[in-house]
C-alpha cells in the first residue's frame, strides 16, 4: 500500500513537472555547430536572435558564430570558397537564393538535398512556389530561405529634406534637378560606399533604364549587355555617379548610411538591411527618423533577394545543422529574425503585426509590385559572373567609359554562360 502510494505521488509529481516544461522540449544534441555568415557587428543582432532560439531548443550544443565582416559577403565568400575547396566546410553557411546557390555550390555538387526537411516541416506550402523554384533544381531543394530583402530602395531623413527645401525624387531626371540644389548647399546628393555598393546602385539604375522586362531579358540572354539599351544603362549610371561622395571606396555601407542620417548626404540607394540598421542600431523611427521610396524610376518594381542557409556535404555536425535549419525555416524563427533585420519573412503565414512601418510597407509592395531578381545579391547570376562584374565595375569607376563597360559586360556574360 505504502509502495503504491509512493508510486502515485511520483507520477503526480512527474506530470506536474512536465507541465512546467516549455512546449518544445530541449533536444539531446551536443557538440559544436558552426554557422558561417557575413552578419558581423552591426549586422549581427538578427542572427543572434535566431541563435538564441536555437540555444533554447538545443542547450547542449556549442554554437560557433563564425562571421567574416564585409557587406554583401565581399570577404566571406572568398573565405568560404577556400574552406569548401579545401574540404573544410562549416556546418551551415549563408548563401543567396538563386544563381549564387544553384550556379555555384549546387552545380559543384557541394550541397545536400533538403527536400525531406521541407516535406517534414510543411515548408512546401509555407514558402512561395516561386521561391522554392529559385532554391531548387530537378534534383532537389538546396537551402532554407530566411528572408526577402528589397534592393531598390532610396533612403532619406524627412526633416533634412525639409530643411534643404527638396523632395525625394521619383525619377532620375528629378534627382538631377534636386542634386544641383543640394550641391549648392554643400550637401552630397547621393552617398556611396565601397565598390560592391556601386554594383548595388548599378542594378537599381539598370532597372530604371531598362524596365523589368528588359532587365529579365539580360539574364535570359535575350538582351545583349552591349546593345544600345545596355550602353544606356552605363551612361545613366555614370551621370548618377557624378553626384556621389569622392571617398566612397573607403566607406562601409553603414558609413554611407550614416552620411544620410547625419545630414552630410541627402540620399542613398541601399537594400533594406539599411532599415534594420537605422531602426535597430540607430534607434530611428521608420517614417519620421528615416523614410524611403523606391529608387528613382522603379516605383511598382520590387528587386528582391533572399538570404538562405544550406547544408554542405560533409558538414562536421550534420544533425546540429539540420536542427539549425529547422529554426531558420520556422515561423517563430522567421518572425523573430526579420523585424530586426529590416527584411520581410519568406513564409506566407508571417505575422505582420510584429513588423515596423517599413516592414509592413515592404510586405505590401512585395504583394503587389512586379518582382525582379537582384544581381548584386546573387539571384540572377552565379559567383563567376559576379566576380568578373566586380572587375568591370572597377574599370568603369576609373574610366567612366560606357561603351567599354557594356562591351566587357557582354564578354563576361558569354564567358559565364548567360549570353546566348
Q: What is the binding site for ligand GAL (CB under 6 A)? A: 38-39, 43, 71-73, 149, 253, 271, 273, 305, 307, 377
| Rg of the Cα atoms in the chain | 23
**Smallest distance from ligand GAL to CB 71, Å:** 4
**Smallest distance from ligand GAL to CB 256, Å:** 11
Give phi and psi for 24, each to the nearest 5: -95, 110
Question: Smaller CB distance to ligand GAL: residue 105 or 253?
Answer: 253
Question: Smaller CB distance to ligand GAL: residue 145 or 169?
Answer: 145
Using Cβ positions, the residue closest to ligand GAL within the complex turns out to be 71
**Smallest distance from ligand GAL to CB 46, Å:** 9
Grid cell listed for 163: 530643411
Whether 273 and 247 have beta carbons less than 8 Å apart is answered as no
Question: Smaller CB distance to ligand GAL: residue 151 or 320?
Answer: 151
**Smallest distance from ligand GAL to CB 150, Å:** 11
**Nearest residue to 272 (alpha-carbon basis) of 292, 258, 248:** 292
- Report how far residue 141's alpha carbon sits from residue 289's, in angstroms, rounded to the nearest whole number: 40
**Smallest distance from ligand GAL to CB 7, Å:** 56
Question: Smaller CB distance to ligand GAL: residue 72 or 356?
Answer: 72
- Report how far residue 125's alpha carbon sits from residue 167's, in angstroms, rounded to the nearest whole number: 42
**Smallest distance from ligand GAL to CB 43, Å:** 5
Question: Smaller CB distance to ligand GAL: residue 39 or 290?
Answer: 39
Bridge partners (DSSP) of residue 136 are 141
Compute, in degrees rounded to 10, the torsion defined by CA atoms 326, 330, 332, 334: 100
- Report how far residue 110's alpha carbon sits from residue 382's, in angstroms, rounded to the nearest whole number: 15
Grid cell listed for 370: 512586379
Question: Smaller CB distance to ligand GAL: residue 27 or 67?
Answer: 67
Collapsing DSSP to helix, strand or coil, 115 comes out as helix
- Report how far residue 70's alpha carbon sits from residue 81's, in angstroms, rounded to the nearest whole number: 15
Amino acid at each position: 500500500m505504502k509502495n503504491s502510494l509512493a508510486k502515485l505521488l511520483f507520477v503526480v509529481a512527474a506530470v506536474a513537472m512536465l507541465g512546467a516544461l516549455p512546449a518544445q522540449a530541449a533536444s539531446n544534441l551536443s557538440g559544436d555547430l558552426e554557422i558561417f555568415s557575413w552578419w558581423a557587428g552591426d549586422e549581427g543582432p538578427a542572427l543572434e536572435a535566431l541563435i538564441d532560439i536555437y540555444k533554447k531548443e538545443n542547450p547542449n550544443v556549442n554554437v560557433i558564430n563564425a562571421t567574416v565582416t564585409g557587406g554583401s559577403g565581399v570577404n566571406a565568400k572568398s573565405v568560404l570558397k577556400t574552406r569548401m575547396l579545401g574540404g573544410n566546410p562549416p556546418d551551415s553557411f549563408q548563401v543567396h537564393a538563386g544563381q549564387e546557390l544553384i550556379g555555384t555550390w549546387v552545380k559543384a555538387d557541394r550541397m545536400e538535398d533538403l527536400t525531406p526537411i521541407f516535406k517534414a516541416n510543411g515548408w512546401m506550402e509555407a514558402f512561395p512556389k516561386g521561391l522554392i523554384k529559385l532554391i531548387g533544381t530537378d534534383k532537389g531543394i538546396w537551402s532554407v530561405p530566411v528572408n526577402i530583402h528589397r534592393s531598390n530602395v532610396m533612403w532619406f531623413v524627412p526633416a533634412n529634406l525639409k530643411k534643404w527645401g527638396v523632395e525625394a525624387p521619383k525619377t532620375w531626371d528629378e534627382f538631377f534637378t534636386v542634386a544641383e540644389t543640394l550641391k549648392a548647399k554643400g550637401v552630397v546628393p547621393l552617398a556611396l560606399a565601397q565598390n560592391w555598393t556601386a554594383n548595388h546602385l548599378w542594378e537599381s539604375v539598370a532597372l530604371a533604364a531598362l524596365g523589368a522586362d528588359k532587365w529579365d531579358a539580360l539574364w535570359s540572354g535575350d538582351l545583349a549587355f552591349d546593345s544600345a539599351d545596355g550602353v544606356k544603362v552605363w551612361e545613366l549610371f555614370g551621370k548618377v555617379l557624378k553626384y556621389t561622395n569622392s571617398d566612397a571606396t573607403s566607406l562601409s555601407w553603414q558609413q554611407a548610411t550614416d552620411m544620410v542620417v547625419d545630414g552630410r548626404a541627402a540620399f542613398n540607394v541601399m537594400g533594406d538591411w539599411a532599415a534594420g540598421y537605422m531602426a535597430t542600431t540607430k534607434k530611428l523611427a521608420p517614417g519620421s527618423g528615416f523614410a524611403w521610396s523606391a529608387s528613382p524610376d522603379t516605383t511598382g518594381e520590387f528587386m528582391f533577394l533572399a538570404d538562405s542557409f544550406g547544408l554542405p556535404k560533409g558538414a562536421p555536425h550534420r544533425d546540429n545543422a539540420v536542427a539549425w535549419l529547422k529554426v531558420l525555416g520556422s515561423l517563430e524563427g522567421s518572425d523573430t529574425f526579420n523585424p530586426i533585420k529590416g527584411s520581410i519573412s519568406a513564409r506566407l503565414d508571417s505575422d505582420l503585426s510584429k513588423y515596423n512601418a517599413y516592414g509592413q510597407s515592404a510586405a505590401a509592395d512585395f504583394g503587389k509590385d512586379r518582382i525582379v531578381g537582384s544581381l548584386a545579391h546573387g539571384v540572377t547570376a552565379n559567383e563567376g559572373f559576379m566576380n568578373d562584374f566586380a572587375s568591370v565595375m572597377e574599370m568603369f569607376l576609373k574610366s567612366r567609359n560606357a561603351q567599354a563597360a557594356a562591351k566587357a559586360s557582354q564578354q563576361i556574360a558569354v564567358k559565364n554562360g548567360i549570353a546566348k
